[in-house]
Amino acid sequence: MENLDLTVLRALASWRAAGQDAVLATVVHTWGSSPRPVGCIMALRGDGMVVGSVSGGCIEYDLIDRYTKPGVGDALARTGPPQFVKYGITADEAHRFGLPCGGTLQILVEFNPEPAAIQQLLAQLDAGRLMHRRVRLADGAVTLEPAEHPADLIVGTQEVVNTFGPGYRMLIIGAGQMSEYLATMALFCGFSVTVCDPREEFAGSWSVAGARLVTTMPDDTVAEMQPDGRTCVIALTHDPKLDDLALLQALDTPAFYIGAIGSRRNSALRHQRMIEHLDQTEESLKNLRGPVGIYIGSKTPPEIAVSVMAEILAVKNGVPLPRDMDVAHVKDLQEITPNDAANVCFVIHDDA
């Protein structure tokens, strides 16, 4: 399962290459609560087929109705320059389209995008490049240019610029049971997953379809993958011979998340080991996460995988996690003596 933007663009490219009418709808503004964020896209074919989404469902139905019934009421055009469409202007309309809390959103609709330009964008994304896609509002002409960093969508008086990146990638070191749960969740979240384990007894029993399995040494795998800002690296073997050098290799890259499973004690020992024997410093290890995950009282491999995946998604989405969800911090609090516990301002539940 790949990145949703890529899925939408591939469907649109296929339809347009076959000569079918289609539109590309992009959320360009939201006010109040909105089911989908700015920049998300949806492809709509002339017969009503949809890939992707711009809301929770009701707006999709309205767009389908307006696009597939030309000449009726406030129907959408089949050709011409891009058109802005706004939903949820009034409370009644927000309710009608299922927008929460009076939310409003504006969508840019592009009619029959050129298939060659879509294929060119897909080729760049498949090659691992981050790209700006500029749409000229006067006539819908599209230009592409490389981007250095992810950027928010820009709406100007003459053009709209949306930034597309290659799919997010996850490298899991270790092919154990918890890796299977984590890989499955990552695939559902649109990550491309690579699992690395040179140990035959573990690699031989790997069974998650869609995740690439390699048996090279983990540090060599990190070097081969060349992690970028859309890559996360997570070590799950508990074996320093496999984990440590791979983590150090990853720390020299722009990977957005680098971490290793383990207790507080093992995480502290890992830092000490890397400083004493691998020429590291506290500064060079500042981006190494461990113990990984957020505190949810997890005990079993699938629960721990949920905890780790939740932290990875929070970091990916730029969401700061409160300190009372930090595993090491909460575990430290659990060891507070009864007399000190009265000073703690929240209660820890085992099933959190």
**Predicted pLDDT of residue 123:** 95
Residue 155 sits in the same domain as residue 183:
no
Residue 141 sits in the same domain as residue 194:
no
Ranked by mean pLDDT, the top range of 73-87, 95-109, 119-133, 334-348 is 119-133
Residue 265 sits in a domain whose CATH number is 3.40.50.720
Residue 134 sits in the same domain as residue 200:
no
Q: Give the β-pairing of 257-260 and 288-289.
A: parallel
Determine the 3-state secondary structure of 247 from DSSP.
helix
Distance CA 206, CA 99 (A): 43
Helix axes 4-17, 115-126, angle to 10 degrees: 140
- pTM attached to this predicted model: 0.73
Domain that holds residue 263: 169-333
Distance CA 167, CA 7 (A): 10
**Predicted pLDDT of residue 341:** 38
Residue 174 sits in the same domain as residue 135:
no
Residues 162-194 as b/e (b if ≥16 CB within 10 A, e otherwise) read bbbbbbbbbbbbbbbebbbbbbbbbbebebbbb
Domain assignment present for residue 342? The answer is no
Domain assignment present for residue 344? The answer is no
Mean confidence (pLDDT) of the chain: 86
Residue 60 sits in the same domain as residue 179:
no
**Predicted pLDDT of residue 71:** 65
User: Could you count the other beta carbons within 10 Å of the beta carbon of residue 296?
Assistant: 18
Residue bearing the bigger pLDDT, 205 or 72: 205
Residue 126 sits in the same domain as residue 71:
yes
Q: Model confidence over 11-23: pLDDT tens digits?
A: 999 999 999 999 9
Residue 312 sits in the same domain as residue 290:
yes
Choose among 65, 87, 86, 60: nearest CA to 76: 65
**Predicted pLDDT of residue 76:** 81
**Predicted pLDDT of residue 346:** 33
Region 32-39: mean pLDDT is 73
Region 31-38: mean pLDDT is 71
Residue 110 sits in the same domain as residue 189:
no
Q: What would the 3-class secondary structure string for 282-329 be?
A: CCCCCCEECCCCECCCCCCHHHHHHHHHHHHHHHHCCCCCCHHHEHHH
Residue bearing the bigger pLDDT, 32 or 132: 132
pLDDT of 336 above 90 = no
Edge-to-edge strands, sheet with 41-45? 50-52, 41-45, 22-31, 104-111, 83-87
Region 126-155: mean pLDDT is 92
Domain assignment present for residue 348? The answer is no
**Predicted pLDDT of residue 56:** 66
Dihedral through CA 336, CA 337, CA 339, CA 340, nearest 10? Answer: -20
Tally the domains of the chain.
Answer: 2
Determine the 3-state secondary structure of 192 from DSSP.
strand
- Residues with Cβ < 8 Å from 261, sequence gap 6 or more? 178, 234, 235, 236, 238, 290, 291, 292, 293, 304, 308
